């Protein structure tokens, strides 16, 4: 199932979660196996660059393997290197057996030899010096931090060495577990229980952040609403209680930020161009006024005092949660996104009430989509000024990073 999800993701260009959902619903599966398939898929994507370097030490050209065979060898190497509870011989065995499914190919001997060499590395596979061999500083960063070189270069050039290393380190680890209890029928009881847990990272309103991998023995029904705690932080930083109402959440998606505004008693209505996301929002938050709309061109049914824009972006701040993004994005994509963001801002300024506000948020670490975007927008619109601007701290334990700005419109 992990291999099928990775093939759909990296070869078919599906998001990893969507690809994994398809694989996991293809038949009856034990929850523990679903958890392992999820760990293999996300873990491999986070550390794919490091794994491919290790394999290249024992295999002259891994890229010549057919994609599914390449993924099988990589996932097996991930198990050997990072999953202590899976014996190395078991990882080698299933991968060798899988290699025999390619008709006419003679991969089993190759798989056996390479993966046994990987298993013999032991702690060497976790020593940064192993990845420094015959490598320049940029080459080492791409190997050890498992990312394309253009991304490491962008962060190094933009933020300096210390901050760039913090961002690179964060994206190879899972994000904190975040969830919001607003609207849950057992919210008060659950809140009181979880608030006393010693491992809690942070609490804000009805939102919690727990260490990655936290498991609940019996999660209540309905399940708690999963939500990035870092996304909650950026909303809080822009002081929504003071926003003129009504608020139009113009890029609402499944309603994560709408939920926060509703929790605060703020008059909010929401839109998104995707019907499926709006349907999910309506199921999660019944009673919210919703409509299908393109934030770059459409007009809302009533004039908003504030427009909340969760802008489409490159997602470079949430690679811990969406690790497939770093293997799919290209530098040329960033320019296309900034053009779309500018179009959305241009539409927003024509729709908001005079004296209103625009709250713009991204989940990326790219100045052209963040500070640079706002600077260009203000340069073209002297009637707009920045009231607040905020970025998640590079030292955050959440392993996710957001940028937000609150604009005043005369």
Residues 197 and 66 reside in one and the same domain: no
Q: How do beta strands 247-249 and 268-272 pair? A: parallel
Domain boundary, last residue among 146, 161, 193: 146
> For residue 97, what is the domain's CATH number?
1.10.940.10
Cα separation, 288 vs 114, in Å, equals 56
Q: Rounded to the nearest 5°, which phi and psi values hold at 77?
A: -65, -40
Residues 364 and 377 reside in one and the same domain: yes
Segments of 207-263 assigned E as strands: 207-210, 225-226, 247-249
Residues 233 and 220 reside in one and the same domain: no
Asked whether residue 252 is domain-assigned, the answer is: yes
Asked whether residue 382 is domain-assigned, the answer is: yes
Residues 216 and 275 reside in one and the same domain: no
Domain boundary, last residue among 146, 169, 198: 146
Asked whether residue 195 is domain-assigned, the answer is: yes
Distances in whole angstroms, Cα of residue 272 to Cα of each of 213, 226, 258, 340 = 31, 19, 12, 15
What tokens were used for 76? Answer: 């097996």
Q: In terms of Cα–Cα distance, which of 375, 383, 380 is closest to 352?
A: 383
Helices marked H in 122-184 — which ranges?
Answer: 128-131, 137-144, 149-159, 161-170
Gap between the terminal Cα atoms of the chain: 54
Range of the domain at 247: 229-409
- If one counts every other C-beta atom within 10 angstroms of the C-beta of residue 379, the result is 9
Residues 18 and 107 reside in one and the same domain: yes
- If one counts every other C-beta atom within 10 angstroms of the C-beta of residue 30, the result is 8
Cα separation, 30 vs 19, in Å, equals 18
Residues 257 and 334 reside in one and the same domain: yes
Residues 206 and 189 reside in one and the same domain: yes
Asked whether residue 161 is domain-assigned, the answer is: no
Q: What angle do CA 16, 22, 23 make, to 5 degrees?
A: 85
User: Which residues are within 8 A (CB) of 89 and not within 5 positions of it... i.e. 6 or more apart?
Assistant: none
Asked whether residue 158 is domain-assigned, the answer is: no
Asked whether residue 160 is domain-assigned, the answer is: no
Long-range CB pairs of 129-132 (<8 Å, 24+ gap) are 131/50, 131/53
Number of folded domains that form the chain: 3
Q: Largest alpha-carbon pair distance within the chain?
A: 71
Asked whether residue 403 is domain-assigned, the answer is: yes
Residues 9 and 136 reside in one and the same domain: yes
Asked whether residue 276 is domain-assigned, the answer is: yes
Residues 321 and 372 reside in one and the same domain: yes
Decide: residue 79, CB within 10 A, 0-12 exposed, 13-18 middle, 19+ buried.
Answer: buried
pLDDT tens, per residue, the chain with 410 residues: 999 999 999 999 999 999 999 999 877 889 899 999 999 999 999 999 999 999 999 998 888 899 999 999 999 999 999 999 999 999 999 999 999 998 877 899 999 999 999 999 999 999 999 999 999 999 999 999 999 999 999 999 999 999 999 999 999 999 999 999 999 999 999 999 999 999 999 999 999 999 998 988 778 889 999 999 999 999 999 999 999 999 999 999 999 999 999 999 999 999 999 999 999 999 999 999 999 999 999 999 999 999 999 999 999 999 999 999 999 999 999 999 999 999 999 999 999 999 999 999 999 999 999 999 999 999 999 999 999 999 999 999 999 999 999 999 99
Residues 100 and 28 reside in one and the same domain: yes
């Amino acid at each position: 199932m992990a291999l099928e999800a990775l093939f759909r993701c990296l070869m078919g260009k599906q998001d990893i979660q969507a690809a994994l959902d398809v694989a996991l619903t293809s038949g009856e599966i034990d929850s523990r196996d679903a958890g392992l398939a999820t760990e293999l898929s996300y873990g491999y994507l986070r550390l794919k660059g490091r794994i491919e370097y290790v394999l290249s030490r024992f295999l002259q050209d891994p890229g010549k393997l057919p994609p599914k065979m390449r993924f099988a060898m990589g996932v097996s190497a991930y198990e050997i290197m990072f999953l202590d509870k899976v014996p190395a011989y078991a990882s080698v065995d299933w991968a060798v057996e899988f290699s025999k499914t390619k008709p006419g190919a003679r991969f089993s001997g190759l798989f056996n030899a390479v993966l046994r060499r990987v298993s013999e590395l032991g702690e060497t596979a976790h020593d940064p010096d192993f990845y420094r061999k015959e490598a320049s500083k940029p080459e080492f960063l791409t190997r050890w931090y498992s990312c394309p070189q253009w991304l490491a270069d962008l962060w190094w050039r933009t933020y300096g060495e210390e901050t760039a290393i913090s961002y690179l380190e964060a994206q190879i680890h899972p994000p904190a577990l975040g969830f919001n209890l607003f609207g849950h029928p057992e919210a008060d009881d659950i809140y009181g229980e979880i608030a006393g847990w010693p491992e809690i990272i942070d609490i804000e309103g009805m939102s919690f952040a727990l260490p990655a991998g936290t498991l609940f023995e019996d999660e209540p029904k309905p399940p708690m609403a999963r939500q990035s705690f870092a996304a909650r932080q950026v909303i809080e930083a822009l002081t929504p209680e003071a926003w003129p109402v009504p608020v139009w959440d113009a890029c609402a998606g499944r309603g994560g930020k709408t939920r926060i505004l509703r929790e605060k008693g703020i008059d909010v209505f929401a839109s998104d161009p995707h019907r499926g996301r709006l349907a999910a929002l309506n199921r999660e938050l019944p009673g919210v006024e919703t409509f299908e709309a393109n934030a770059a061109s459409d007009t809302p049914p009533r004039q908003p005092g504030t427009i909340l824009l969760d802008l489409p972006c490159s997602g470079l701040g949430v690679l811990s949660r969406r690790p497939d993004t770093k293997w799919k994005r290209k530098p040329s994509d960033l320019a296309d996104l900034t053009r779309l963001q500018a179009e959305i801002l241009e539409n927003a300024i024509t729709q908001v009430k005079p004296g209103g506000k625009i709250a713009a948020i991204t989940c990326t670490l790219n100045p052209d989509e963040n500070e640079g975007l706002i600077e260009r927008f203000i340069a073209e619109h002297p009637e707009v000024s920045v009231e607040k601007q905020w970025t998640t701290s590079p030292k955050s334990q959440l392993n996710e990073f957001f940028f937000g700005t609150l604009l005043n419109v005369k």
